[in-house]
Amino acid sequence: MAERLRQRVLEDGVSVGAGLVRLTSFFNHQVDAKMMQACGQELASVFRDAKVTKVLTAPTSGLLAAYPVAIELGVDFVYTRDGVMPKTWAGEEHAAVEICSRTKQKSSTHYVLKAAITAEDRVLVVDDVLSTGGTAAALVQLAQAAGAEVVGVAALLEKSFEQGRGAVDHALPGVKVATLVDIPRLADPLTSDDVVCVDNTLAAALP
């Protein structure tokens, strides 16, 4: 299914400058649901033996990746609440972290209840795209602030030219990272050399 995702990126992805790719026809606006379900299953298989108890993501685009991964792993997923903390959370213990969204061109505080992510949890952080790694690294920090152990970071797409794995490794050295499709360089138009499937054999073998 990674190959199908790769083909859709090649066919429908549009470079819009500043390191951004428009994928609105199948990925982050209109969604190819069957493909996303299959991609989630493939991504989850890398972490089958990691004893994941919770999947953590950030809205909105992260939801489309986190849901099928969580279903395949048979665990709950938790999404952060951003902006103003919900009034219904008044008096509840929570953790918070600042996340900067490049596509939205703003920063916002993301919250998670400590009742949702606990010290007993083994958390898999999931996002739609791993680019600079800022969101993934912040989610790692958020899970740790809630007392959980982070066992991996996963994303459907990666833009390795932005070195997101470095930011994730800085947040949690040695953490397992897996993605399905990588854009190692950004050209206009994208060619077959610019969009490649990722071999997760080594990642899957890590404890």
Residue range 74-123, pLDDT digits in tens: 999 999 999 888 889 989 999 999 998 776 677 899 999 999 999 999 99
Burial class from Cβ neighbours inside 10 Å (0-12, 13-18, 19+) for residue 37 reads middle
Give the Å distances, CA to CA, from 149 to 55, 84, 104, 118, 206. 12, 26, 29, 9, 16
- With a cut of 50, which residues of the chain have pLDDT below it? none
Instruction: Tell me the whole-structure pTM to 2 decimals.
Output: 0.94
Look at residue 103 in the predicted model and tell me its pLDDT: 66
pLDDT of residue 17: 81
Cβ contact 185:160 at 8 Å:
no
Cα–Cα distances (Å) from 4 to 116, 174, 196, in that order, read 34, 29, 11
Encoding tokens for residue 90? Answer: 């008044």
Note the pLDDT of residue 95: 95
Secondary structure element (H or E) that encloses residue 172, with its range: none
95 vs 72, 82, 103, CA distance in Å? 27, 12, 24
Residue reference for tokens 């103003």: 84
Instruction: Give the pLDDT confidence score for residue 123 in this predicted structure.
Output: 98
Q: How far is CA 65 from the centre of its chain?
A: 7
